[in-house]
Structure 1
Amino acid sequence: MERLIYLDNAATTKTAPEVVEAMLPYFTEHFGNPSSVYGFAAANKEVITRQREIIADTLGAKSNEIYFTAGGSESDNWALIATAEAYASKGKHLITSKIEHHAILHTCEYLEKKGFEVTYLDVDENGIVDLEQLKSAIREDTILISIMYANNEIGTIQPIREIGAIAHEHGILFHTDAVQAFGQVPINVDEDQIDMLSASGHKLNGPKGIGFLYIRKGVKIRSFIHGGAQERRRRAGTENVPGIVGFGKAVERAVSTMEARTKKERELRDYLIERIEKEIPYCRLNGDRTKRLPNNVNFSFRFIEGESLLIMLDMKGICASSGSACTSGSLDPSHVLLAIGLPHEIAHGSLRMTLSEETTKEDLDYVVENLKEIVSNLRSMSPLYEDFVKKQK
């Protein structure tokens, strides 16, 4: 393949060279188990503490409120299940939205089987939660509201600060899945009144297999993984020292580059959106036009199948997706696109492209030229498109 243009950074990002460099010594030279008492190994406990401080500072949190996990899905599971168990005597009602990541939705389904009740909020055509509906959904027995910071498919950013205020006004805990937002937008847990927050390393040029759950001091949720005293007795298992070091380095890098990086991404994002809307007919931008992640572009193209589009783009060296990488094996249309009101046949023709700091205008010009040709070719084979054109005449 002569050319590779990677536009699936919402699925995962390339680990930055300086992150890899920071991690390497902890595989070979400083390989000790942080729980061991001798100095050679115990030094790694200090290293972990330093990474906790780096991450906490980014969020306006305290270092002892950061708990390392294996990734965003574990953090989401922990936040919901442990909260449900710990606060069951107060109530058994949770509130979330219909466009959450499946790590939230499937965990809610699990809790429903355990006797909990879950309200799934609707979203508008741009994917934004209705705050009045949220207020109306709150009950005496509501113990948790979990709304994602930004959607992984359509990039829409939720009114998190307002949601946090509503939750706290009613004495309800507030969790947000910030896997896509962390490192892309500024977040302050106190200003946003967030009690728990999930994040993952590989979404911001860090390593895979490492994440964290922020748990505000005073939130009484239990351990999720049992067996040892690690993570202040809340998450057993030998710490992933190289992963934690890599995550800390990736967070430092993301924070220091955020302003310039996201400014460039927004400019390229808007350029790509403008070209597609002008040059490819019968397409729809999914997600809010302005309240969206800096690097997210999601379109639905009428009269085509998204799977065919992805395959043909891949043949041109262009990596994109039709939605979440966690559901790429599914033939069902995106639950997010259905929730914002798209009919099945249009939701099936969706394409998500997520940019990075390495994406160039030339890359996007190449993508648009190929996209125009591919969409035109696929439509030429579609009887639905043929009927549509005849009716237009």
Structure 2
Amino acid sequence: MLPVISGPFVAVARKSAARLLLAFLGVQAAVIGGLVLFDALKHRRRTRRPDFPHPGVFDGNVADSAVTIYTYGEDLYAAMLAAIRGARTRVFLGTFIWKSDATGRRFREALADAAERGVEVFVVYDGFANLVVPRAFYRFHPNIHVYRFPVLRPSRLFTPLRSTGLDHRKLLVVDDETGFVGGYNIGDVYATEWRDTHVRINGPAVWDLRQAFVGVWNTVGAVPEISYDPPRAWDPHIRAVNNIPAHLVYPIRGIYLDAINRARHHIYITTAYFIPDKQILRALLAASARGVDVRLILPEDSNHVLADWLSRGFYTSLLREGVTVLLYRHAMIHAKTATVDGLWSTVGTANIDRLSLTGNYETNLEIHDEAFAADMERIFGIDSANCRVLTLSEWKERHVAAPVSETILVPLRPFL
């Protein structure tokens, strides 16, 4: 017979477990506080140079659509504002962060001018991401239809956590003819101090970005409802892949896994925040083990110290399996791109972390085209020249407190 566990013993065990949990949470909080303080002190000495490499603007065609890659904020913003100022019928704009600075005001004024001349304008922005921006900044022209993704939603109380993500997308669609998507938020700092990647499309493939905006607008109940517009053509070379938390749909993770598992020669990934789940990590390690050249460009120091330390917890596994870790220096690299075997590429809004791949509203373009992949490889090469190659021997020599801190933070991985 199994021994009977008495009530007092269970009570003592529960109290002990609770104390251990509280103690661990206390240690975890102390580590996070220490990292934030250390990062603040380090930030004062950090070298940010406005002359970091700008790969340039790359023009090309994918099937029947013209495609342009932007790698510098000022170039991108000029093109986006020109598109809005030339709009004749309709503008859809969605952004995660929208600063109330000179760049932010230029976009707001361009949208107001478009609405004044009779263009239908629809705007979505995320409330949580812009809590520090004065609410008065978002007083738009009265003819502009606006949906502020709410910080607090009743759905959070009655639905799974995974169905209540933030709207992390950065989209612009003008006249159903021109579309933009990528990693750039709207603000002065992104114009000149961050390295990011955005894509513009002109042609039938713009329908995918239109549908990405309209699908979420109608799903969240924004008004007025936007009517469905069927595509003029179906181009299998370009498609928008959309994470829709309200429907628990997260296909972007799937396209990454499929491409990684198919890779035969090389995988080049650039991401601002690298906190992969077990399946993606195993797929990358397995690819490297079978001889695929796997390279990751990550920020040496990002704008989120906690994300940096959670990411560093994966470096030992990556380096041991021969994955090349390239740390981007002197600027924040915020791009979310990948290219595989010179055949497949993706550019969009999703990082390789839990929030992007199983939490937030995201949009990535999946592009099957050799010429486009060649441009993405050129960009990766230019960015690589601004990176420091991390070696396993160097990583093993870091201060003993570093791996301890990384281990303490492991339980936070599912939340970032």
Name the TM-score class by shorter chain. Answer: under 0.3
Instruction: Give the number of the structure with larger relative contact order, counting CA–CA contacts within 8 Å between residues 6 or more apart.
Output: 1
**Normalised TM-score (structure 2):** 0.26
Output the TM-score relative to the length of structure 1. 0.27
